[in-house]
């Protein structure tokens, strides 16, 4: 039995008539546990939609949604600085194009496999729908580990990766961007190789580009900023705000750094961040400039931060979620926040949790937050600001325009507010007020399902 089966909300998949479909997903995708988890989480909330809309059942929308339109797996050979040959595996899952071209990041991390890419691609369908910006869902990556690799090794890897992937991309077809292990440096190398092979300066084929050559101001900050803006909206709906709150953040990549920056701009004190070596507690509030220096410039480990800052201490063992806080923002990776962590956060009085990463909370953890009355923003909604700003980058590219940072930030704030309101209203419409998981899943699903119905059986 899957660990995800332990969760049994009253309106879960087993009460909705969707259980046979879920069993079929398990059978067809044996071993892809993260994908099972992501599908399960969505199906658990869709029962009431199917009760109201039997035609969706007849059109087999769920069966089609759970089967990617196209899955690409390819060999990525490359040569390291010492002349040794390496073989990695590349992936791109083009999941659903009902609302627009496939859109979603590339992840370079040793844990990447087809199941991980499918889970991320599946989530991306609903997240992208929620942005309201007409983008389909896809995801890709490789089990390549960029850690301790030189710039030239990363460049050669990216060139080899793109030498296969380019034929599947295009501004109206599939538009990748970054994710874990893929930032501005990698997007630069990927874009260069795409241009070289195709002989086309096609801005819209990748997002997250450098600001001087077609990138959007504010894209780097967007996921973290958006997550905090979403949190602020959730708190506002409860008559509070971020000002004066104590915030715990996990991770120290792009999402975590800019979540910390925005939270502190809004008056919160961010007391933690982490990486795979441990976590830092800084009671005075994170020095975001120092964090950027350590992680973005030096690409060093997080204990370096603690070594250079008097108010900070480094903790090598245990969970960052043991630190008491009012607001928790998991911004590291999938399933990093467990049931035990959730219990300890609730015991310590957490009021709001928003997922900056994709599916960082286990299903059991989510259930603890729901039972504990915590405002819980699932990643599909809370971290949609990154991909939304990618869509804004595509708009700028299409019109050969470039907007100011403040203009993009204003658009981002409007988008996050809209996403919040649509999740909030949808949850109310389905009799689950304050349940952002139900709201996000149903609101995203309705948009995709409508487009799929209209476009026929394809
Ligand atoms: N990887 C990011 C996400 O999880 C961004 C994707 C994009 O900008 O296309 O949404």
- CA 208 to ligand 1: nearest atom: 8
- Rounded alpha-carbon distances, angstroms, from residue 180 to 112, 273, 358, 407, 442: 10, 16, 10, 27, 27
Taking Cα atoms as reference points, which of 365, 375, 156, 434 lies closest to residue 245?
A: 375
Residue 219 CB contacts under 8 Å (≥ 6 apart), including other chains? 207, 208, 386, 389, 390, 393, 408
Taking Cα atoms as reference points, which of 423, 390, 412 lies closest to residue 102?
A: 390
| Residue pLDDT, tens place only, 151-160 | 999 999 999 9
Beta carbons of 276 and 110 less than 8 angstroms apart: no
Residue nearest (by alpha carbon) to ligand 1 atom 8: 387
| Residue pLDDT, tens place only, 364-407 | 999 999 999 999 999 999 999 999 999 999 999 999 999 999 99
- Whole-number pLDDT of residue 279: 98
Stretch among 3-7, 116-120, 128-132, 324-328 having the lowest mean pLDDT: 3-7
| Residue pLDDT, tens place only, 145-199 | 999 999 999 999 999 999 999 999 999 999 999 999 999 999 999 999 999 999 9
Neighbours of 349 (CB within 10 A): 12
Taking Cα atoms as reference points, which of 178, 163, 184 lies closest to residue 104?
A: 178
Answer whether 103 contacts ligand 1 (Cβ < 6 A): yes
Q: How far apart are CA 22 and CA 12, in angstroms?
A: 11
Give residue 179 CA to ligand 1 midpoint distance, Å. Answer: 6
- Whole-number pLDDT of residue 4: 41
Say what percent of the chain tops pLDDT 90: 96
Q: How far apart are CA 257 and CA 55, in angstroms?
A: 45
Give residue 17 CA to ligand 1 midpoint distance, Å. Answer: 32
Give the largest CA-CA distance in the chain. Answer: 63
- CA 358 to ligand 1: nearest atom: 4
Answer whether 140 contacts ligand 1 (Cβ < 6 A): no
- Whole-number pLDDT of residue 15: 64
Give residue 10 CA to ligand 1 midpoint distance, Å. Answer: 32
- CA 390 to ligand 1: nearest atom: 8
Residue nearest (by alpha carbon) to ligand 1 atom 9: 104
- Whole-number pLDDT of residue 187: 98
Is 292 designated active site? no
Statement: residue 9 has pLDDT above 90: no
Beta carbons of 10 and 438 less than 8 angstroms apart: no
Residue 248's H or E segment, with its range, is strand 246-250
| Residue pLDDT, tens place only, 321-352 | 999 999 999 999 999 999 999 999 999 999 99
The distance from CA 280 to its chain's CA centroid, rounded to whole angstroms, is: 23
* CA dihedral of 365, 371, 372, 376, whole degrees rounded to 10: 60
- CA 124 to ligand 1: nearest atom: 10
Give residue 57 CA to ligand 1 midpoint distance, Å. Answer: 30
Give residue 174 CA to ligand 1 midpoint distance, Å. Answer: 13
Strands 272-275 and 278-282: antiparallel
Q: What is the pTM of this model?
A: 0.96
Answer whether 177 contacts ligand 1 (Cβ < 6 A): yes
- Whole-number pLDDT of residue 17: 80
Domains of the chain and CATH, by start? 16-65 (no CATH), 70-202 (3.40.50.10860), 221-382 (3.40.50.720)
Q: How far apart are CA 32 and CA 16, in angstroms?
A: 23
What is the residue-averaged pLDDT of the chain? Answer: 96
Q: How far apart are CA 116 and CA 426, in angstroms?
A: 28
| Residue pLDDT, tens place only, 417-438 | 999 999 999 999 999 999 999 9
* CA dihedral of 388, 390, 391, 395, whole degrees rounded to 10: 140
- CA 127 to ligand 1: nearest atom: 10
Answer whether 386 contacts ligand 1 (Cβ < 6 A): yes
Residue 415's H or E segment, with its range, is helix 405-429
Answer whether 104 contacts ligand 1 (Cβ < 6 A): yes
Answer whether 209 contacts ligand 1 (Cβ < 6 A): no
Instruction: Over range 71-86, report the average pLDDT.
Output: 98
Q: How far apart are CA 387 and CA 446, in angstroms?
A: 19
- Whole-number pLDDT of residue 7: 42
Ligand 1, from 91, 178, 226: best to mutate by most atoms within 8 Å of Cβ? 178
Query: Which candidate in 103, 127, 139, 380 is catalytic?
Result: 139
- CA 120 to ligand 1: nearest atom: 4
* CA dihedral of 37, 416, 444, 175, whole degrees rounded to 10: -80
Strands (DSSP E) found in 312-405: 312-315, 327-330, 352-354, 375-377
Q: Provide the pLDDT confidence category of residue 60 given band limits of 50, 70 and 90.
A: very high
Taking Cα atoms as reference points, which of 38, 45, 42 lies closest to residue 16?
A: 45
Instruction: Over range 124-133, report the average pLDDT.
Output: 98
Q: How far apart are CA 133 and CA 135, in angstroms?
A: 6
Ligand 1, from 133, 179, 251, 359: best to mutate by most atoms within 8 Å of Cβ? 179
Residue 202 CB contacts under 8 Å (≥ 6 apart), including other chains? 170, 171, 194, 195
**Long-range pairs, 36-39, Cβ under 8 A, ≥24:** 36/2, 36/4, 37/2, 37/4, 37/119, 37/335, 37/359, 37/363, 38/119, 38/122, 38/123, 38/359, 39/66, 39/122
| Residue pLDDT, tens place only, 224-241 | 999 999 999 999 999 999
Ligand 1, from 379, 390, 397, 419: best to mutate by most atoms within 8 Å of Cβ? 390
What does the block give as tokens for 5? 């089966």
279 backbone dihedrals φ, ψ, rounded to 5°? -135, 165
- DSSP-assigned states of every residue in 130-187: HHTS--EEEEEEES---TT--HHHHHHHHHHHHHHHGGG-BTTTEEEE-BTTB-HHHH
Give residue 94 CA to ligand 1 midpoint distance, Å. Answer: 14
Answer whether 100 contacts ligand 1 (Cβ < 6 A): no
Sign of the C-alpha dihedral computed for residues 448, 449, 451 and 452 taken in this order: positive
- Whole-number pLDDT of residue 324: 98
- CA 219 to ligand 1: nearest atom: 8
Q: Provide the pLDDT confidence category of residue 6 given band limits of 50, 70 and 90.
A: very low
Q: How far apart are CA 261 and CA 117, in angstroms?
A: 29
Q: Provide the pLDDT confidence category of residue 11 given band limits of 50, 70 and 90.
A: low
Answer whether 333 contacts ligand 1 (Cβ < 6 A): no
Q: How far apart are CA 186 and CA 10, in angstroms?
A: 45
| Residue pLDDT, tens place only, 23-41 | 999 999 999 999 999 999 9
Statement: residue 269 has pLDDT above 50: yes
Answer whether 334 contacts ligand 1 (Cβ < 6 A): no
């Amino acid at each position: 039995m899957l660990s995800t089966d332990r969760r049994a909300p009253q309106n879960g998949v087993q009460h909705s008539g969707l259980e046979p479909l879920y069993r079929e997903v398990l059978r067809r995708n044996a071993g892809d546990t993260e994908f099972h988890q992501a599908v399960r989480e969505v199906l658990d909330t869709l029962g009431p939609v199917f009760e109201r809309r039997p035609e969706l059942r007849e059109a087999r929308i769920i069966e089609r949604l759970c089967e990617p339109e196209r899955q690409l797996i390819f060999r990525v050979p490359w040569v390291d600085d010492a002349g040794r040959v390496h073989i990695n595996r590349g992936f791109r899952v083009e999941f659903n194009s009902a609302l627009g071209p496939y859109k979603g990041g590339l992840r370079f991390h040793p844990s990447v496999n087809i199941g991980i890419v499918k889970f991320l691609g599946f989530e991306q369908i609903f997240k992208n729908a929620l942005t309201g910006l007409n983008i389909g869902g896809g995801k890709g990556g490789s089990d390549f580990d960029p850690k301790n690799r030189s710039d030239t090794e990363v460049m050669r890897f990216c060139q080899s990766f793109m030498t296969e992937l380019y034929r599947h991309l295009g501004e109206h077809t599939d538009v990748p961007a970054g994710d874990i292990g893929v930032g501005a440096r990698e997007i630069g190398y990927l874009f260069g190789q795409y241009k070289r092979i195709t002989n086309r300066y096609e801005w819209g084929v990748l997002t997250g580009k450098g600001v001087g050559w077609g990138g959007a101001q504010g894209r780097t900050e967007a996921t973290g900023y958006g997550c905090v803006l979403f949190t602020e909206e959730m708190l506002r709906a409860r008559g509070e705000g971020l000002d004066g709150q104590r915030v715990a953040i996990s991770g120290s990549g792009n999402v975590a750094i800019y979540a910390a920056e925005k939270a502190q701009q809004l008056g919160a004190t961010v007391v933690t961040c982490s990486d795979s070596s441990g976590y830092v507690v800084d009671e005075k509030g994170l020095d975001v400039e120092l964090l950027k220096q350590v992680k973005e410039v030096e690409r060093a480990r997080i204990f370096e931060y603690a070594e250079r800052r008097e108010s900070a201490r480094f903790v090598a063992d245990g969970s960052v979620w043991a630190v008491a806080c009012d607001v928790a923002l998991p911004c590291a990776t999938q399933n990093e926040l467990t049931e035990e962590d959730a219990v300890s956060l609730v015991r310590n009085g957490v009021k709001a949790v928003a997922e900056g990463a994709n599916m960082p909370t286990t299903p059991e953890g989510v259930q603890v937050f729901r039972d504990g009355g915590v405002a819980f923003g699932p990643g599909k909604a809370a971290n949609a600001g990154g991909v939304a700003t990618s869509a804004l980058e595509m708009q700028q590219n299409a019109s050969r325009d470039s907007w100011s940072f403040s203009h993009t930030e204003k658009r981002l704030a409007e988008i996050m507010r809209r996403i919040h309101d649509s999740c909030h209203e949808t949850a109310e419409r389905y009799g689950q007020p304050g349940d952002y998981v139900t709201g996000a899943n149903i609101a995203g699903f309705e948009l995709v399902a409508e487009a799929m119905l209209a476009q026929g059986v394809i």
